[in-house]
Amino acid sequence: MEPLTWTGPLGQFLNPALYVLSAVFLVAAVVQIVLGIATGGSRVVTNPDGTLSSAGGAYDLSSTATRWLGLGLLIVVLAYIVIGIFTGPQVAGIIGGMSQQLTPVWIALILTFAVSITFKRKLGLYGKLFDSTVGMVGFALVMFWVYAGVMAGLFDWITTHDSLSQVSGMKNKVPGTPMRGAEDGEYAWYLLGGDNLARDVFSRLFKGAWVVVQIAPLATVFAFMVGITLGLPAGFYGGRLDTLLSFLANLILAFPVILLFYLLVTPEIVATGIPNYMATVLFVFPLVFVGVLLNSRYYTQPSFRTPLLIVVLGIMGWMYLSLISDAGTKVAVLPEFLDLFDIDPGILVVFVSVVFVNAPTVFRIVRGLALDIKTRDYVAAAQTRGEGPWYIMLWEILPNARGPLIVDFCLRIGYTTILLGTLGFFGLGLQSESPDWGTTINAGRRLLSAYPHPAIAPALSLLTMVLGLNLLADGLREESLKD
């Protein structure tokens, strides 16, 4: 079988169009920027009836040109993907093959956007996101990886081969190499080539997305729970408590992150059980948070509060105990038959260290917001009503701090993704055959100058995912500032 090219026979028609359009687009963009600096941007004239209109001229011409050329470029790129879905690798090359494998992701993305845009006026801040182009692009990138990760990890849909099986003769092969002796029903190519152990880069990429999609948001949620539960009282009460907690936070922040990872994640430290003890402490914060949240709200109605707390804390406590207790480790409090699930110790360590690194920053943000908001009138009003301090913190201050916190949450998932990659890059935590992006980059960097493709694919994926999260945060910030 012939090796695939990037765009296949389709490229003969589309590639020239793409090259010409991109060249012209670049020229137009540069012209627009130069004109923008030189002429002072778009000129506006006031009409006799008081309305404003653009005066036209060179700058406006160039900006119209850039817009249309950009649109044309977008259509050509979409053409590769759409034609690829229907024709597959034979006609549309590697890009077509990937696009065809990703069909369920495209469907899910289109559905999400169609539903969200239809009901965007009823969806609050999430709906407003669809008013900003930057926010939509970011959201699309993030959801692409979320859907791709979930579909590859849970349903085995997107991947073409097993992410661990090695196929002889495929070591370090370039993208699009046909598989030697592919049997019926097997996918006949390594779409993104083979890595140094002759495994399929494409399949590992999406299995790796699943690792990231699982760990990063959850670790961020835990970091936020810790940061909020400690940051609110620090900002609200001030005094000694604040001094102590801020000192501790600054202490952790003064550590170089990589040194901290090396100290926490080595197998010797894992053997001492320190990560398990840290998990025991860090994972208790969601319980404390939810318990205090519900208690402060409903303590006036004991008949409702007590059963509510028993049910909620009971379920969460069970989850907590199953999460921290693990038969082989130092913390084994639950007997085996009550233990709901076991976490792979490598993942637990990575999780704990990422939460530990992120929590102090969240603490500082929440503390700053609490310091600011506690001087507002509605806090004084609640105090006059006789509400308790925790009610004020959790039901008055926290909801009013949600804007900056949501934005920071998005940014922080991105940062957590970067941290996970850093851990993988230094070969810490996860096993060396784990398909996650950091580990794959680490494995690929040794042969980078000869065979760059096994490292480039995860690098670009990490880049697009974090970029999506940052753009999403930017869009959210813009939209939340509007009102």
Partner 1 sequence: MGLFILRRLGVMLLTALCLTFIVFFLTNLYPNLEKLAKTQGNFRMTDEAVASWLDDRGYIDNTLIKYGRWLGVAPGWITEKEDGTVTGQCFKENAPVEERPTFCGVLQGDWGSSLVFKDEVSSLVATRLGATGKLMGFVLLVMVPMSLIVGVLAGMREGSGLDRSLSTFSIATTATPEYVSGVIFIAIFASSAFGLKWFKGSATQAIENATFENFTLPVLTIALYGMGYIARMTRASMTEVMTAQYIRTARLKGVSFGNIVLKHALRNALIAPFTVIMLQIPWLLNGVVIVETLFNYKGFGWLLVQAAGNNDIELLLAVSVVSVVVVLITQLISDIGYVFLNPRIRIS
217-256: which residues touch partner 1 (CB under 8 A)?
247, 250-251, 253-256
| Sole binder of partner 1 in the list 183, 268, 336, 483 (CB under 8 A) | 268
Please report whether residue 257 would count as binding partner 1 according to CB under 8 A. Answer: yes
Please say which residue, 208 or 444, places its beta carbon nearer to partner 1: 444
Please check whether residue 279 is in contact with residue 320, taking contact to mean a CB–CB distance below 8 angstroms.
no
- Which span (37-45, 109-117, 145-153, 317-325) binds partner 1, by CB under 8 A? 37-45
Q: What H or E segment, with its residue span, contains residue 190?
A: strand 189-190
Q: C-beta of 425: minimal distance to partner 1 in Å?
A: 5
Phi then psi for residue 18, to 5 deg, are: -60, -45
Enumerate residues 6+ apart whose C-beta is below 8 A from 402: none
Please report whether residue 277 would count as binding partner 1 according to CB under 8 A. Answer: no
Q: Is residue 298 classed exposed, middle or buried when 0-12, 13-18 and 19+ CB atoms within 10 A define those classes?
A: middle
Could you write out the three-class secondary structure of 89-139? HHHHHHHHHHHHHCHHHHHHHHHHHHHHHHCHHHCHHHHHHHHCHHHHHHH
Q: Measured between alpha carbons, how far is 258 from 413 in angstroms, rounded to an integer?
A: 18
Please say which residue, 204 or 374, places its beta carbon nearer to partner 1: 204
Q: Measured between alpha carbons, how far is 113 from 147 in angstroms, rounded to an integer?
A: 13
Q: Measured between alpha carbons, how far is 254 from 162 in angstroms, rounded to an integer?
A: 42
435-454: which residues touch partner 1 (CB under 8 A)?
438, 441, 444-445, 448-453
Enumerate residues 6+ apart whose C-beta is below 8 A from 65: 28, 32
| Sole binder of partner 1 in the list 2, 40, 302, 375 (CB under 8 A) | 40
Q: C-beta of 44: minimal distance to partner 1 in Å?
A: 13
Please say which residue, 157 or 426, places its beta carbon nearer to partner 1: 426
Q: Which residues of 214-226 are buried (b: 16+ CB within 10 A; e: fewer)?
A: bbbbebbebbbbb
- Which span (101-109, 286-294, 401-409, 414-422) binds partner 1, by CB under 8 A? 414-422
| Sole binder of partner 1 in the list 65, 85, 290, 467 (CB under 8 A) | 467
Please report whether residue 56 would count as binding partner 1 according to CB under 8 A. Answer: no
Point out which residues bind partner 1 (CB under 8 A): 29, 32-33, 36-37, 40-41, 63, 66, 134, 247, 250-251, 253-259, 262-264, 266, 268-269, 271-272, 274, 414, 418, 421-422, 425-426, 438, 441, 444-445, 448-453, 455-456, 459-460, 462-463, 466-467, 469-471, 474
